[in-house]
């Protein structure tokens, strides 16, 4: 699905891109959230990125996500995502 989303962006197939976003959103879990969030960030997929941030902001998910090696790699390569995660957590608590 990742490759299909990239192809949809490359060839400007908006409907296919939205379908990929919807499917990827349904696949978000502790092990996949880092890869999906990185993909959403790289391809400016606001809705998919929002779904990932909401998932990470759940108190019962945050600890497990932070322990994931894929997440650690994502934070190391895309520093600004951590700020967005913290903003999402702060807004969820407000």
Average pLDDT across the chain, whole number: 94
Class of residue 52 by CB neighbours under 10 A (exposed 0-12, middle 13-18, buried 19+): buried
List the domains of the chain with CATH numbers: 28-93 (1.25.40.420)
What is the per-residue pLDDT for 92?
A: 81
3-state secondary structure the chain: CHHHHHHHHHCCCHHHHHHHHHHHHHCCCCCCHHHHHHHHHHCCCHHHHHHHHHHHHCHHHHHHHHHCHHHHHHHHHCCHHHHHHHHHHHHHHC
Tokens 């913290």 correspond to 86
Q: Is the model's pTM score more than 0.75?
A: yes
């Amino acid at each position: 699905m990742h490759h299909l989303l990239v192809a949809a962006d490359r060839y400007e197939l908006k409907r296919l891109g939205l379908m990929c976003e919807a499917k990827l959103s349904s696949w978000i879990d502790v092990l996949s959230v880092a890869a999906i969030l990185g993909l959403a960030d790289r391809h400016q997929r606001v809705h998919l990125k929002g779904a990932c941030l909401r998932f990470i902001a759940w108190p019962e998910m945050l600890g497990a996500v932070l322990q994931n090696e894929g997440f650690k790699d994502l934070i190391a390569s895309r520093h600004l995502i951590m700020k967005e995660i913290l903003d999402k957590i702060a807004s969820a608590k407000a």
